[in-house]
A = this chain, B = another copy of it.
Amino acid sequence: MKKFEEKTIQSQPIYSGKVISLKVDDVSLPNGETGKREIINHPGAVAVIAITENNKFLLVEQYRKALERSIIEIPAGKLEKGEEPIVTARRELEEETGYTSDHFEFVQAFATSPGFADEIIHIYVAEKLKKLDIPVDLDEDEFVELMEVSLEEAEAMVADGRIYDAKTAFAILWLKLKMNI
């Protein structure tokens, strides 16, 4: 997996923040020339395709400052340092939806923006959801609204632009295939 490798000549740290950091690497290109790569480091994330007992699935609406709008997504969150993705998956499902599950299964992991970021998102499916007796608090800067929708309702939200997010687009196709529609 090193085809066309770009070796680092020099790496310049630009910013180190709460969530992301940015560096600019000078690299040697396969043709012997040099180039610059602007790279975001991110802790990684999980997202959960959460299916209720009556075949609805869970979505959350939240404001995304980068887009300056609220969008609707499957429940998701960032990995804490050293945390196993499955642990994050359960925590984020509980915090964002008030549901939990004993039936988590790994679906797929992928880079969200490999052209400039190292963020990997780990997708799980959670079935046989149970309501938590005592809700778990969200992070102090997080505000989400829960929805339970059918696949048809989700597809209407894609059509009207309220669903506008890669992991959720993937989840909807995955559910279509699973449900054999």
Q: Which residues of B contact A63 (CB under 8 A)?
A: 2-6, 30
Given A112-B112, A113-B112, A117-B113, are A143 and B30 neighbors across the interface (CB < 8 Å)? yes
Interface of A, helix, strand, loop or mixed by DSSP:
mixed
Distance from A130 Cβ to chain B, minimum over Cβ atoms (Å): 27
A104: interface (CB < 8 Å):
no
Task: Give the residue of B29, B76, B111 whose beta carbon is less than 8 angstroms from that of A164.
Answer: B111
* Extra contacts besides A40-B117, A108-B158 (14): CB < 8 Å: A1-B162, A2-B63, A22-B22, A25-B65, A27-B65, A30-B63, A37-B66, A66-B113, A78-B115, A166-B166, A166-B167, A173-B173, A173-B174, A176-B177
Copies in the complex: 2
Cα–Cα, bound, A170→B107 (Å): 13
A84: interface (CB < 8 Å):
no
The 5 closest A-B pairs by CB, nearest first: A173-B173, A4-B63, A35-B141, A37-B65, A64-B114
Give me 14 A-to-B residue pairs in the complex whose CB atoms sit less than 8 angstroms apart, sorted by A's number: A1-B69, A3-B62, A4-B144, A17-B24, A29-B141, A30-B63, A37-B65, A37-B66, A64-B114, A112-B112, A114-B165, A117-B117, A121-B166, A170-B173
Distance from A109 Cβ to chain B, minimum over Cβ atoms (Å): 7
Cα–Cα, bound, A46→B107 (Å): 25
Asked if B3 and A108 make an inter-chain contact with CB atoms under 8 angstroms apart, the answer reads no
Asked if A143 and B173 make an inter-chain contact with CB atoms under 8 angstroms apart, the answer reads no
